[in-house]
Structures are given as structure tokens and as C-alpha cells.
Amino acid sequence: MDVTAILQRLKEQVIELPSWAVGNSGTRYGTFREEGSARTIWDKIDDCAEIQRVLGITPVMASHVAWDVTEDGQYAPVRSYAEEKGLKIGTVHPDVFSRQEYIYGSICSPKPEVREFTQQHFLDCVRVAKEMGSKVIGMWVADGTNYPGQDNLRERKHRLYEGLKVLYDAMDEDMKLVIEYKPFEPFFYTTDIADWGMSMLMCQKLGNRAKVLVDLGHHLPGVNIEQIISTLLDENMLGGFHMNNRRYADDDLITGTVNPMDLFLIYKEIIDAEQGGVKTDITYMLDQSHNIEPSIEGIIYSVMNAQTAYARALVIDREALGKAQEEYDVVGANKIVMDAFNTDVQPLLEQARIELGLSDTDPLRNYRQGGYAQKIKQERGFDGINTLGG
Amino acid sequence: MDVTAILQRLKEQVIELPSWAVGNSGTRYGTFREEGSARTIWDKIDDCAEIQRVLGITPVMASHVAWDVTEDGQYAPVRSYAEEKGLKIGTVHPDVFSRQEYIYGSICSPKPEVREFTQQHFLDCVRVAKEMGSKVIGMWVADGTNYPGQDNLRERKHRLYEGLKVLYDAMDEDMKLVIEYKPFEPFFYTTDIADWGMSMLMCQKLGNRAKVLVDLGHHLPGVNIEQIISTLLDENMLGGFHMNNRRYADDDLITGTVNPMDLFLIYKEIIDAEQGGVKTDITYMLDQSHNIEPSIEGIIYSVMNAQTAYARALVIDREALGKAQEEYDVVGANKIVMDAFNTDVQPLLEQARIELGLSDTDPLRNYRQGGYAQKIKQERGFDGINTLGG
Amino acid sequence: MDVTAILQRLKEQVIELPSWAVGNSGTRYGTFREEGSARTIWDKIDDCAEIQRVLGITPVMASHVAWDVTEDGQYAPVRSYAEEKGLKIGTVHPDVFSRQEYIYGSICSPKPEVREFTQQHFLDCVRVAKEMGSKVIGMWVADGTNYPGQDNLRERKHRLYEGLKVLYDAMDEDMKLVIEYKPFEPFFYTTDIADWGMSMLMCQKLGNRAKVLVDLGHHLPGVNIEQIISTLLDENMLGGFHMNNRRYADDDLITGTVNPMDLFLIYKEIIDAEQGGVKTDITYMLDQSHNIEPSIEGIIYSVMNAQTAYARALVIDREALGKAQEEYDVVGANKIVMDAFNTDVQPLLEQARIELGLSDTDPLRNYRQGGYAQKIKQERGFDGINTLGG
Amino acid sequence: MDVTAILQRLKEQVIELPSWAVGNSGTRYGTFREEGSARTIWDKIDDCAEIQRVLGITPVMASHVAWDVTEDGQYAPVRSYAEEKGLKIGTVHPDVFSRQEYIYGSICSPKPEVREFTQQHFLDCVRVAKEMGSKVIGMWVADGTNYPGQDNLRERKHRLYEGLKVLYDAMDEDMKLVIEYKPFEPFFYTTDIADWGMSMLMCQKLGNRAKVLVDLGHHLPGVNIEQIISTLLDENMLGGFHMNNRRYADDDLITGTVNPMDLFLIYKEIIDAEQGGVKTDITYMLDQSHNIEPSIEGIIYSVMNAQTAYARALVIDREALGKAQEEYDVVGANKIVMDAFNTDVQPLLEQARIELGLSDTDPLRNYRQGGYAQKIKQERGFDGINTLGG
């Protein structure tokens, strides 16, 4: 690929910002609160706009239905304010985990009234997506069980399909449903969509607007994610990504900090598929928990890491790679891939940022020097925390 | 389920004996050889017949094409001798890993001549299965790669399907193909059929006589195997099992010794499905490596452990369980399952063994006291090992 | 061991109840609240007393300094009320994770003022333990980092020792410090005491009243816990247990429900050591999260599971086992262990409960029929939850 | 660190070549043989000399007592020939796994005659090391058990110490014993030295010439190796490394190909410790299985990857890092580390190779173009393999 083409790709990639990640997040042991963190949906939009200012490839805010609404239940003003700030609303996420009713699951719950309630929520979400101008529903079914015997697994699978069908059927023809999978948490015996196979099975049953969503942190130790990506691409079944990093469980760390090779190899498979003639339609989103670092910094840094990985995957010498593969040259082929990974792509990224019209080629520096962080600290303050000795 | 029905089920279960497991096996560091271990296909048949003598539910020998053949390449005499000894030939396994050509894979190899060679081998295997009177082909595609870049993953997937199609199309209408998956070993970057999803995908493409084979040891840490079983059963996609136990990797330990709950919960899901109206056709096989224990003892013990797990799953009070589930009684439901697991099913197993006409209700004691072990030690001797200080 | 001796052991075992587990607990996604769950320290003591009523071997309540205190900061009334209810205060746990200051750690924090604050808290804890009549401090240092480079690991190790030394030196000569380890959560790059080796290292430096605390859920997949136990026992370094079960991460499930073999084999190693002449002083505690099941039921069930595991370990035929080991009889030796595991120890447990003077040999039934659950539901009510559609 | 100092470090690092890795290696399923692979100890020395020719920092061959000996049991000629070729003999490794006697372990075996035999072997090894001019014994105790109950774990631990003490006591005052650990394989229930804690415990008991050897592949999924390194360094307990890469189990892949961050972060901790005043004496060795790639290529590539990781760790801006840490700047501190990781260190490595006097700055190209590979293929031939269709 020549430099112009690479720069084009780098400028065209869009990564959705998760509205929920600019707020506070934590572990089950508690949440360390951050000075200046977003308190309202308006704060979140402002933060996303600031992030887009320094990055230029994040003009879309993924949304969580439960949280991204005005105090009086309106969505249209949210869309308007976002648009005013230069942002579109991206993937809309239903909420099936944060209510007391979901103790035994949502659409998989053995309680019929909970399933019905959830299905109604799905219909609301599709309506909201339409109001928001979004074409993608992002579905994480958090349902599961904690103990053998607690529920009948096959019946849960049937309930799962029933619920997803309600959601799928409510969507317009030009909408896409992306279905996430996760091996564990918040439940610890079974999760009703535990891996990509279970997600794909549901997509196959629903129809060709249902695709698999791959969250990088939702895998057991050792899973080869890029092979799953490659398989899904070949089946035309890849819908999108939640980017983050895991070291142990679903740690939701800044993407690219645990094993930068992983993200690079995923991009490599995507480019391989595209160059092999596969038509792709992939929604990229971040989904992370910035437990100790300032959220906005963590998000900006994540996108930069994703760009680095993407640029490296783009500079792989594919002609040489093909030749090495044809000659069964194992070391040579791997070295071509590693040479690309080892390439300093900083100049490419800086050029892309200049062409995007950004005011600084270093987005993190741009943010830190721009005064926004100081401003929100002052305006929003510190959300009622314990202080030392107090 | 009443006692008569339970006993009926215990007597009807058939577990195939792997011809290869009565010989020596080891790790990459070497093989500890056992005095009296099988040297020839005739020895293997004799050993399986002895095992069947004390167990009564193992009248079938699973076969490995490469090894279960006469010195002059005949299969019919193998079948005849087995039948003479009261054994049928069960699942027939092609060999796609033990030849130099398979260094880059077999049907997934980038070398066309290797793929062709393998496909020819598949046709041979189907012919052999017919000669042997077997209706099941057990396919473990050991193929994979060791390094990123070594080969094109999507092309390997296409080659995989092509090769399996040759095998599938050669089978008679009344034959079944069971396709195994494995996350790693003997390759360590990608395995071409790495998990149940990739196996199921191939089965879907091939046709309804292709089913998934679940080897209990072929999972990454933490995978919930019984949920996979439940999913496959609900999709009418479960073909069979390779039983063994893993603690770390594909350890191939005696089944039931690492976590006896696992096997019990798998049987539970099978019975759940059957009672829920799912028609099952499951081939049970052992597939273990008896690295340090006498192989025949290890095999007998394994079947006993499988019977214990099965009996416990059969005695679950399903009426009470259903009621607890309806009442959302999490602890109560789990305790009903655990109470079954904690039941002493020894009396049931002994009764089943009496009704099977066995000469001793303790198969291991029967074997140890029957003189066979002493006999083969004398006749077969010790296969040329280093002795202490020598 | 004869039956009398086994019964004696079963009656003598004491398992501490964690005051914090009778309240609500959840995941980072939220907490499902339970009707009737404990709201105050008085509720917690009442609940523990009820649990002790039906179990008879749990007359001790482990305590968490931050939460087990009167509204006006008094501990003596807590002790008095507990004693009134027949309970002693057991292991006292400092809190080093639930305050904003601990964002970069507590005694390992790079901020000197946080370390000083924590050390002061340690001194308070020792004072509280003395007031409460407790002789054991249970120290979970939750500290860690999330990203490479965030802090200097060796300096953190030095700060860790410094902080623990303050705690250790403040203890009376007849007090014991038990130091927990955990591989991850709430931090996800390093944890300052990540495994038993790091815990033991600190204990070695502190002195012989510092011992290792093993939480069953604080291990990475595949770790052989019973070998760690055996090693610590042989080094006279085992201080106690936090019992629970993990399947994926630190799931804090009901002990004995994931793999009942694990707990059995741990007890086996303890009895092995004791019979081998090792003097043990082990503090047993539960530490679980009852996210979906009623907490009191979950706790009672856990203790019953522990008793089952212990009873099975006690009935191992150790003479036969020793003989099988001497004869290098791998299958025979394992089968002796498995036969004990497969034994129905219900009659033994019932006899022990009768001898303990319990009013019912089934503690769970005793609790469910005793009216306490209904009573607390009425008195304490439902703690302000969302209801369906609301 | 200035460029001169960095270059100095790059030139001074010595990585030992494992004599065993230039031969064929495989999995338990078989070994793919390589044309031209080393057949004799003389071949191995020739291969190591060729590797040193192109790398310049590998003038030492680690040795395996069982295999690196003349046909008539002599070691002196091996040393002479190596010296002639410009190589010294490095770490000497006893063999305690490749004999039938070791079925229940070597120094931990329950059989007294096997323990005695092994201890005698240890004495031989020390003698051989002296003859070879080596000052380091590298001890991998492969011992373990496969099933609970098979042996008494505490007794095995005592036997382990006894055996190691014989080895330690036989060493000269200027010799070093490095003790390896491994969680599993070739045994699958317990390994007698399963983790760094068990290794350290033995070292503590033996004396200050015993240190821990860290094999990068000998860890369970998720273990943070660099924290172990940091801990061992701080305790003056780190003896050396076996370099390789794992993805799933002990895969023994080319180091730096699975997660290049790992190796980089390990080097970072070593440099951190050294700059913090810790005196280090670390033996670096490769220990890999080149199952499908040409062994010599794999080895050269591995050393290049190690150099890349080391160079990146050396260019970390430690002043800026210290400042970011002091300011609790989590993102900033991590980014400084990542910026170093992302640096193109190729110019540095090329300069170092020029200063080392190598004839080409690309060692792999140098090897491929040097004619050696062709020469050994012709001279040594193909070691009797099956060919396609044959």
C-alpha cells in the first residue's frame, strides 16, 4: 500500500466514543472519583467534543439508553446538543443489567414479567435509536447464572432467541444489530452468550442484519482473538469491536497497553480480509474503565494506541509476505510482520493528523495544554469524596 | 427416574475403547514404557477384550487408521479377530499429524500436494471404515500454525472446508462424521479448528451427518463445557465425546480424577436434553494418555469414574429441581444437584454390573485378580528400556 | 482414624463468619439488594447468631474495622452484644481499599501522607482488636498498579514491608498476623502481594507471628492450591483460610460448589501434615459474595459443604493409602483417595450435629423452618430498590 | 542513559546458546525432522559457532550433560573443540527426566535407589562442569505426580531438599546453582518445584550461591513475570533466564514473537534495579523448540528479538519517568514507557553490530547468505524421514 493510501485509511477510520466512559468507573470494591468528571449527559457530550477536537477521528458518541437521556426522559435534545457540538450518536446500547429485576437475567430470566419488561425496553431502544439518528443497536446480554441447577440452560437459550427476535424485528431494514459475548461477570457459572460461537448462532437465526460484536476483553486466557476475527470476516459475520485491554479478567484497561501485538494482529486480519475481497462494515468503539487515570486522557491515549496499531498493520509489506508464505519461509514471514510492528509510524500518524486539520500532532499534549481539564475541574468540582483523614 | 430405568440406562451406555491407549504414551520429554504393554494390533484387541470382560459396557474399539492394521496393510483380519473376541470396531480416526509432510498442516497445508495426499488418505479411511463395519469417522484436524504471518488464515479455512468436504462426500448415507476441536498443540499460534464454534461452522456447511466431537481436555482454562454441550444438544449438533481430564493443558489424565463435578454436570445436561425431548446420538470414547499408570488399569478406572458420574446425574431429583427452579430458589436448586452428586451410587453400579453378568462387581479388582496383567507381562516383556544404572 | 476421633474433629472445627457477608454484595455492575439483609452491625450479629444456632461450629464473627463499629465509633458495645449472643470476635481486618486516598495504594502508595495515614489506621486496628478480644489481624493489602511505569515496583515492595512492620510491631506477643495474597483486582497490572511467595517473603521478614492467609479464590487458573498448603504447612507458615470458590476470577461463590475436590484435597493435606507431626494453628473463615442467593442461606450452605469436604478427608483410609504409595500403585492410591471422596458422609455429619446439640441435623432446613428469614424480612424490609416497571 | 552507554550495554550482554536447540525438537505427537540439523555434539558446536559469527554476543554454549558428550563418554574433547571454535561452555544442565527410572521422579522419587542414582548423577555433573570450565549448574527438577494420593507431598519436598543439597555441597565456592521452576509438564498434578516461591524456598535453605532461574514459558496464564523478576532482584535471588515465548502452555516459541512487551518489561525491571543500586549476576540462555522453522534461523531471530527488547528498555527516558511518577501522572508515566517500546532501535542495534565487528548488521541475512545452511544440508542430509506418499 502506498503512503497516500495508508494516510487515507488512517484518516477515514472512525472510532466511537462511549458516553459512559467519560464518567467515573470502578471495581466492586468502590469507585475512585475524579475531579471534573462528567456529571450529566451534557457534560459527557462536551467531553466527547473535546476529545474529537484533538483526535479528529471520533465524531461519534456511542450511547447507553439508561444514562444518556434528559432528566425528563427526552432524547431529541441530546441529539441536538451533540450535533451542535459536531457529534453524531452512534451505537445505541440497551441496559439489561442495572436493575433489581435482572437478578436472574433479563430476556433469559425465568420470570415471564421480566422478559416482557425487557422486550418492551428493547422496543423503546429501537425507537430511541431512530430518534437519535443511530443505525446500530449494540446488545450486551449480561444474563447468566451463578450455580449449577439454578435454571434450565436450554430453556434460557430459547428465551434468549425470543427476546433478541423482538429486538431484531423492530429494527428498520437499514439498521444493524451487533451482539456481544462474554465468558463471565456479572454471573459466574454460565453466561447466556458466553463466546463468539453462541453469538454467531443467534445472528444466524435472526437474519443478515445481525452481526457479532467482539469486545477485546471478553475472552478467556489464551484465546486467539485475531483468528476469531478472521473467521467472522470470512463468514461476513463481524459487526464491530469494543476496544480495551485485558490482562486477567475483563479488566477494561487502556487498549494497546497490555499487549500491543494483539491489536496490531487484529487490524492485520481485517486488512488481509479486505485485500482478499471481503466487504467489511465494522463499527469500532472504545469500552474501557478509567479507574485511576483521568478518563479523557485515557480515552485520547487509547485512540492513539489504536491508530498506532492500525498504521503498523497498514505498512506490512504484503507482497513480500505473500512471497515468504509461498516459499514456506516461517521465520521470514513472521519477520516481515514483526518488522511492520517494529516500524516507527509516528511520522505517518503526524501527517494524518495534519491532513485532518488538527491543531497539534500530539493529541494528548493538545488536550493537556488546551485548558479544558482545568476548566472542568473548576466548573464541575469534586463529587463529594472522602479526603485524607476525613 | 425409578431405579429400574436408571439401571437400564447404566447398562445401555456404551463407551468405546481407544485402541491406541492400551499402548505406551508419553510427553515430548519421552515415554515411560510399561511392562506388558501392547505391541501389536492383536495385543490391543486382546487388551480391549479383557477390559470388556470386567466392565461389560465397552464392546467397541475405536480405531486409528495408521496403527490398527496388519503388517501387510490388511484391515479385514483386524475386524475378524476383534469380532472373535466379542468386539466391534467403532469410530475410525484418520491420521493427519504423524508424518513429516504435515509440518505445515494436512488439509490446510499451503502445499497442494500435501492436501491432495491427505484427501486421498480420507478416501482410504472411509473405505477402511466400511471394511471394518464402522459407521463413524472421528476427525481431529491437528493443523495449525506457530507464528503470525506464517500463512493466510482465511485461505486455510477454505482449504479446511475443501478437505472435509471430500471426506464427507465419500461417506455412506448411514455414516456420521464427528469433528473435533482443540485450542492448541501440536501448533501454538493458530489451530485451524480451535473451538466448538469453528467445528460447528464446518458441520453446518457439510450437512446433517456432520456433528461436533467434544474432547473434554480440549478447552482453555475456565471454559464451561456443559454449557457448550447443552448448546450443541439444542442445535442437534453433538456427535460424541473424547473423555479424559485436564488440569493445565491437554493433560489426557484419567477422566473423573481432576474435577468429578465436570463429568457429572455434562451427563446432567445430556439427561436434561433427553428429558426435554431432544433426540441424541452420542458416541462416547475414552482418549487418554496413561503415562505412568498401567494403561489397562487406567482405562478400567476411567470407565468406572464415568459410570459414577452418569449414575449420579441419573439420580437427580428432577421433579424437586424443577420446583426449586420455578420458585427461584437458587440455593435449594443447587443443593438438589449437589445432593445427587454426593449420593453413594456404588450400590446402583454394583446392581447394574450384576445384571450385566459380570463376574465381579468391582472391575478393577476383577482385572487385578484375573491374572491377565501377569500373563501379558510375561508374554510381552519389557520393551527394551534403560534400567537403573544401565 | 476411628469414628469417635472423626466426630471429635468435626465438632472441634471452628469456621469464622464474616460480618460483611451477611449484608448485600455485588459486582461492579451493581448490587442486587436482598429483602431483610443486615443494615447495621447489630443486624449482622443477630444474623451470625442465627447461623451459629443451626450450625454449632461458627461461634466466631470475623470483623471488618471500617464497618463493624457503632454509629459513634465504639467497639466495646459491639463485643458486648456479640458475647450476649454467644459470639466471640475473630479475625480483625483493616480496611485499605475503600477510601479515595487509596487510589494509588495504601501502605504502598507513592504519597507519603497516605502511607502515614494507613499506618495510623493499622495502629487503630490493633487497638480495636484488643478491645474486641481478638488475637488475629487479617491483612489484605489491596494495593497495586494498573499500568507499566506507573510506579517503581521495588520501592513499592520496600514501602509494603515498612507498613506491615508498623502493624506487626504493634501487636501483642500472643497475637497473630495473617497476610493475604491476590493476583489481581482491584488493580490490574501488579498487585503488591500477588502470590503466596510474596506473602511468605513478608512473613519471613516480619517474624514468626506472621503467617500466610490463603483465600481459595485468589489464584490464577490452574494453580494447585493444595500443594501450596502443603508447602506452607511444612514451613510452619500457614495462618488461615478465606473459603469460597472461583471458576473464572475471584468469583467469591459458595465454597464447594465449583469443584468440591479442591476443598477435600486441601483438608487432606492438612490432615496429612498433622498426622506427619506438623503442629497447625489455622484460622478458617468464609469470605464470599452472595450476589443472588439469600446471604444467610449461602453462608449456612457453605459451612455444610466445608464439613462434607472435611469429613471425607477424615475418612481416607490412610493405612491403605500409605501401603499403595509404598507399592508405587498409582491407580490404587488415587482410588483410595477417591473412594473417601465418594463416601456418603451424611450419617457422620448428622451424628456430629446431634452431639453438638443442634435441634435439627439439616442446618439449612433448620434455618428455613425456624422463622428467622420471615422475621428479618418483615422487620428490616427491602432497602429502597427499583421495582418492575418502576 | 547516553548512546555510548547504551551501545556498551548492548555489546556486553551475553546470551548462552542451548546446545540442545540446534537439533530436532517436537511435540508428543512427533518430531518434524529438519534437513541439515545437528546429529552430533560436533555438529552442535559448529552450529553455535556459526550463530556466534553472525550475532557476536553468543560466545557461550549451554550444555546438557546427557547429550553433550563424546561417544566414549568424554567431556574434555567437547570443551577443546568448542574453544577451538571460539566458544566457552556455559551453564551445565543435569538430566533428570529422560530415563525410565524417573517415572515417579528423580530426587523426589519414592524409590530410594532412584534418589541415590540421581544424587550420583549430580556429583558427576559438577565434575563435568569443572572439566568443561563452567561455573554454573542449571537445575530443572522435572519431578512431579499425576494424581492426588500418588505420593506424600511433604515427603517429596524433604527429598527434594536432600537431593539439591548434595548437588549444592559438591559445587566449588565460585560456582552458582540456578534452580528452575515450572507449573506442569511432564507431570500434571503436582510439580515438585512449581513456582518461583518453591524455587526461592530451596535457594534460601541451600545458601547464597543458589539462585532462581526464570524460564519465561514456565508460568500459568496471567502471571506477571516482570514483578517476579523485580521481587527476586530486590532479594538478590535472580540467577538467570531461559528465554522463549508461551501463548498457551510451555510452547517454547521464538522469544519476542507472542508478546514483545513482556520481554521489554523484564529488561526494564532489570535496568531499574541496577540503576537502583542492585548488583546483578544474571545468566541469559535461550531454551526453545524450533518445531517447524529451521533451528539456527529460529535461534538467530530470537537473539535479535531479545536485543530489540533490551535496546528499547535502555532508551526509556528515566528522568522523565521518575518525574511523571512523582506527579502521579499515570497516563504520562505509561506513555513514557510505551514511547520507548515504540522507538525504532534498529539504528542502535546496527551500530552495536558494527562495533562488535560483525560482517553484516542483519544477522539473519548474514546467515542466509553465508552458505552455511546449504553446506550442512548437503553434508548432514535428511535424517531418514518419511517422504510424501512414501
Helix then strand then coil, % of chain C, to nearest 5: 45, 15, 40
Chain B residues touching residue A230 (CB < 8 angstroms):
153-154, 157
Counting one residue from chain A and one from chain D, the pairs whose CB atoms sit within 8 A come to: 65
- Asked if A166 contacts A160 with a C-beta cutoff of 8 angstroms, the reply is no
10 Å Cβ neighbour count for D86? 12
Phi-psi domain of B371 (left: phi exceeds 0; alpha: psi -120 through 50; beta: other)? left
Q: Would you call A248 and D222 a contact, using CB atoms and an 8 Å cutoff?
A: yes
Q: Would you call C194 and D328 a contact, using CB atoms and an 8 Å cutoff?
A: no
Count of residues in chain B: 390
Q: Would you call B184 and D248 a contact, using CB atoms and an 8 Å cutoff?
A: yes
Residue D221 is nearest to which of C152, C221, C278, comparing CB atoms? Answer: C221
C151 to chain D: nearest residue by CA? D325
Average pLDDT over residues B4-30: 94
Give the per-residue pLDDT at A382: 75
**B184 touches D at CB < 8 Å:** yes
* Segments in D133-277 forming alpha helices (H): 153-170, 196-206, 225-234, 260-275
Query: Largest Cα–Cα distance in chain B?
Result: 69
| Pick from A20-24, B101-105, B314-318, C177-181: least confident | A20-24
Chain B residues touching residue A233 (CB < 8 angstroms):
154
Confidence band of B383 (pLDDT split at 50, 70, 90): low
**Cα–Cα distance for residue pair A360/A308, rounded to 1 Å:** 17
Output b/e per residue, D290-319; b: 16+ Cβ within 10 A: bbbbbbbbbbbbbbbbbbbbbbbbbbbebe
CA distances from A155 to A109, B227, B313, B319, D297 (A): 10, 12, 19, 16, 55
Nearest to residue C7, comparing CAs of C278, C380, C330, C315? C315
Tell me the domains of chain D and their CATH numbers: 10-316 (3.20.20.150)
Chain A residues touching residue B331 (CB < 8 angstroms):
147
Single-letter residue type at A114: V
**Cα–Cα distance for residue pair C370/C360, rounded to 1 Å:** 10
Using the predicted structure, report yes or no on whether residue D162 has a pLDDT greater than 80.
yes
**pLDDT (tens digit per residue) in B247-286:** 999 999 999 999 999 999 999 999 999 999 999 999 999 9
CA distance B21 to chain A (A): 28
Q: What angle do CA B90, B94, B95 make, to 5 degrees?
A: 130
Give the per-residue pLDDT at B340: 98
**Cα–Cα distance for residue pair B119/B164, rounded to 1 Å:** 8
**pLDDT (tens digit per residue) in A88-128:** 999 999 999 989 999 999 999 999 999 999 999 999 999 99
Give the per-residue pLDDT at C227: 98
- B104 φ, ψ (degrees, to nearest 5): -110, 15
First to last CA, chain C: 60
Q: Would you call A346 and D342 a contact, using CB atoms and an 8 Å cutoff?
A: yes
Identify from A254, A288, A342, A362 which residue to disrupt to test chain D contact, counting D C-beta atoms within 10 A and taking the largest count.
Answer: A342
Q: Would you call B259 and C257 a contact, using CB atoms and an 8 Å cutoff?
A: no
Q: In the predicted model, what is the mean pLDDT of chain D? A: 95
Using the predicted structure, report yes or no on whether residue B322 has a pLDDT greater than 50.
yes
β-bridge partners, D352: none
Confidence band of C67 (pLDDT split at 50, 70, 90): confident
CA distances from B21 to B83, B282, D325 (A): 19, 21, 58
Give the per-residue pLDDT at C389: 38
**pLDDT (tens digit per residue) in C340-390:** 999 999 999 999 999 999 999 999 999 999 999 999 999 998 764 444 433
- Going residue by residue through chain A (390 aa), what tens digit of pLDDT does each one get? 899 999 999 999 999 999 998 888 899 999 998 999 999 999 999 999 999 999 999 999 999 988 888 889 899 999 999 999 999 999 999 999 989 999 999 999 999 999 999 999 999 999 999 999 999 999 999 999 999 999 999 999 999 999 999 999 999 999 999 999 999 999 999 999 999 999 999 999 999 999 999 999 999 999 999 999 999 999 999 999 999 999 999 999 999 999 999 999 999 999 999 999 999 999 999 999 999 999 999 999 999 999 999 999 999 999 999 999 999 999 999 999 999 999 999 999 999 999 999 999 999 999 999 999 999 999 998 764 444 433
Confidence band of B67 (pLDDT split at 50, 70, 90): confident
Who has greater pLDDT, D1 or B304?
B304
**C291 touches A at CB < 8 Å:** yes
**D331 touches B at CB < 8 Å:** no
Give the per-residue pLDDT at D140: 97
Residue D29 is nearest to which of B186, B188, B389, comparing CB atoms? Answer: B186
Give the per-residue pLDDT at D390: 34
Grid coordinates of D134: 563452567
- Asked if C120 contacts C76 with a C-beta cutoff of 8 angstroms, the reply is no
**Cα–Cα distance for residue pair B135/D250, rounded to 1 Å:** 38
Query: Largest Cα–Cα distance in chain A?
Result: 69
Chain B residues touching residue C330 (CB < 8 angstroms):
292-293
- Asked if C220 contacts D222 with a C-beta cutoff of 8 angstroms, the reply is yes
**Cα–Cα distance for residue pair A212/A196, rounded to 1 Å:** 7
Q: Which helix (H) or strand (E) holds B231?
A: helix B225-234
Confidence band of D385 (pLDDT split at 50, 70, 90): very low
Q: What angle do CA B24, B27, B33 make, to 5 degrees?
A: 30
CA distance C341 to chain D (A): 11
Confidence band of B384 (pLDDT split at 50, 70, 90): very low
**C187 touches D at CB < 8 Å:** no
Task: Please spell the DSSP secondary structure of D274-325, one letter per residue.
Answer: HHTT-----EEEE----SSS-HHHHHHHHHHHHHHHHHHHHT--HHHHHHHH
Q: Would you call C259 and B254 a contact, using CB atoms and an 8 Å cutoff?
A: no
Q: Would you call B157 and A230 a contact, using CB atoms and an 8 Å cutoff?
A: yes
What is the pTM for the complete model shown?
Answer: 0.97
Single-letter residue type at D141: V
Chain B residues touching residue A268 (CB < 8 angstroms):
148
Nearest to residue D342, comparing CAs of A27, A301, A243? A301
Give the per-residue pLDDT at A383: 63
Chain A residues 348-367 with CB within 8 Å of chain D: 364
Q: Which helix (H) or strand (E) holds C274?
A: helix C260-275
Q: Which helix (H) or strand (E) holds B378?
A: helix B372-380
Confidence band of C65 (pLDDT split at 50, 70, 90): confident
**D236 touches B at CB < 8 Å:** no
Confidence band of D387 (pLDDT split at 50, 70, 90): very low
Average pLDDT over residues D215-222: 98
- The interface predicted TM-score of the complex, written ipTM, equals 0.96
| Pick from C31-45, D154-168, D291-305, D348-362: least confident | C31-45
Task: Quote the radius of gyration of chain A (alpha carbons, Å).
Answer: 21
Chain D residues touching residue A253 (CB < 8 angstroms):
none
- Asked if B87 contacts B96 with a C-beta cutoff of 8 angstroms, the reply is no
**Cα–Cα distance for residue pair C386/B388, rounded to 1 Å:** 73
Average pLDDT over residues D148-172: 98
